[in-house]
Structure 1
Amino acid sequence: MSYQGSFRVWRGDDQSGGLVDYRVEVNEGEVVLDIIHRLQATQAPDLAVRWNCKAGKCGSCSAEINGKPRLLCMTRMSTFTEDETITVTPLRTFPVEKDLVTDVSFNYEKSREIPAFAPPEGVAPGDYRMSQWDVERSQEFRKCIECFLCQDVCHVVRDHEDNKQHFAGPRFLMRITELDMHPLDAADRREAARTEHGIGWCNITKCCTEVCPEHIKITDNALIPLKERVADRYYDPIVWLGNKIRRRST
């Protein structure tokens, strides 16, 4: 079964652009990325779109479909009605390169700001030991495919460009949480999370969790625990008193 679907696709670059209407053939079982490829093949050969695996594992084909951040390759056409106009636009939070391709270098810059895993001194790699509970607690975070949909939907940077310098975003706050939860990581992550990466700016709206294609519970299992760890360290009055007593005794 096939039909002619109505699509509005954003065309342009960082200087100018707008939505262009197309009628494209839709076949049973297809996803939005199939339609974009057919559009390239039949009507718009110069349409720019980033993609790679077409299996929901590389995170390359991130875009906004009807205003919601999604993967083009994981959004089935069967979720829309035949008479519905489907709007495909680039990720709004990042600068447009061309058409549906955006410059996501902001995310790689944030990634480089986070120090790598720091094993304890005197412990050789083959001697690392940790419980299965500790393994499972952070295993969920390693499912991240870095599609940056959570970064795109987070209103802290989506609506406030000036915040990008001081806020790492949910993907990299989740990375900090993963390292901070690791029993063999010797670095103190909480100070940097508070002062450099802006964990206090997150107001746990769960929008990042809602768009995650890997169904990672970013807010509940990463951001809230990290906020609690930071609060315990710096704002718990009992911890504060203990630190005062400890400093006086040394």
Structure 2
Amino acid sequence: DIVHRLQATQAGDLAVRWNCKAGKCGSCSAEINGRPRLMCMTRLSDFDPVETVTVTPMRSFPVIRDLVTDVSFNYEKASELPSFAPPPRDADGKRRMAQVDVERGQEFRKCIECFLCQNTCHVVRDHEENKPAFAGPRFFLRYAELDMHPLDTHDRRQLAQGAAGLGMCNITKCCTEVCPEHIKITDNAIIPMKERVVDRKFDPLVWLGSKIGLRNRDNDGRTEV
């Protein structure tokens, strides 16, 4: 509201991206006193009355104008991710989804794509050269969501480790700290994906099973259906 008041009274040409003003669209991401936050969910009452409050655009993305940044990097990374690939349809009632799979997916789908996690991740924030080879926490969340879905048939682990740069994440949990939806990105998505990648590559039983054909595709690191 204070940004809109400034637009109305002092800076009519101030550019700012916004939509819902309810913390659900992810449009108004910025850095407030250096911390990535949603502007609409930040109250001036949270600060000391004598404190100077600074609002700056997200540092990890190119500035288009004022507080508006070019986040097209994220859409490019989204396009590189293979979509959900269900198996051929079976007779109704044959498959069952465990409650744990339902709950896990619900947490991942809370993401509002504000890209605050992408902005705060030091892998790209402090190293611009890493961007082409690093998908970032928002998309590791998506990789995990799809890979943990019991009906998905596409194995994304090699892609996550290779082209998406999962190994470059050193689990500082900075992405989790700034998530306005309080998704445990590191603990529930990134670390489990790292474990799945390691199991696939280094687990001797997995390696042996793949050689002699004993591993079932649905059971290869996935919830049994």
Query: TM (normalized to structure 2)?
Result: 0.90
Aligned to 2:182: 215
CA RMSD of aligned residues (A): 1.7
Deviations 1:66-100 (A, max 9, x none): 00000000011111011100011000000000000
Residue 71 (structure 1) aligned with residue 38 (structure 2): yes
Residue 145 of structure 2 aligns to a residue in which SS? helix
Q: Name the structure where strand makes up a greater proportion of residues.
A: 1
Residue 154 of structure 2 aligns to a residue in which SS? coil
The structure 1 segments of at least 4 consecutive aligned residues displaced by more than 4 Å after TM superposition are: 124-128, 244-247
Match of 1:57 among 11, 17, 24: 24
Q: Matches of residues 1-250 of structure 1 in structure 2 within 5 Å?
A: 34-123=1-90, 129-246=96-213
Q: Could you tell me how far 1:122 is from its partner in structure 2? A: 4.1
Residue 86 of structure 1 aligns to a residue in which SS? coil
Unpaired runs of 5+ residues, structure 1, are 1-33
* Rounded Cα–Cα distance in structure 1 between residues aligned with 2:106 and 2:201: 27
* Rounded Cα–Cα distance in structure 1 between residues aligned with 2:105 and 2:40: 27
Q: Could you tell me how far 1:110 is from its partner in structure 2? A: 0.7
One-letter amino acid of the counterpart of residue 40, structure 1 = Q
Residue 16 of structure 2 aligns to a residue in which SS? coil
User: Identity over aligned residues, as a percent?
Assistant: 74
Q: Could you tell me how far 1:208 is from its partner in structure 2? A: 0.2
The structure having more radius of gyration, on CA atoms, is 1
Q: 1:126 to 1:91 in 2, by over 3 A?
A: farther
RCO higher in structure (CA 8 A, sep ≥6): 2
Q: 1:108 to 1:80 in 2, by over 3 A?
A: same
Residue 19 of structure 2 aligns to a residue in which SS? coil
* Rounded Cα–Cα distance in structure 1 between residues aligned with 2:212 and 2:20: 57
Residue 119 of structure 1 aligns to a residue in which SS? coil
Residue 85 of structure 1 aligns to a residue in which SS? coil
Q: Could you tell me how far 1:236 is from its partner in structure 2? A: 2.3
* Rounded Cα–Cα distance in structure 2 between residues aligned with 1:201 and 1:225: 15
* Rounded Cα–Cα distance in structure 2 between residues aligned with 1:78 and 1:50: 22
Q: 1:77 to 1:109 in 2, by over 3 A?
A: same
Unpaired runs of 5+ residues, structure 2, are 215-225
Deviations 1:133-187 (A, max 9, x none): 2111221010000000000000111111111111110000100000000000000
Higher alpha-carbon deviation: 64-73 or 234-243: 234-243
One-letter amino acid of the counterpart of residue 109, structure 2 = R
Aligned to 1:4: none
One-letter amino acid of the counterpart of residue 212, structure 1 = C
Query: TM (normalized to structure 1)?
Result: 0.82
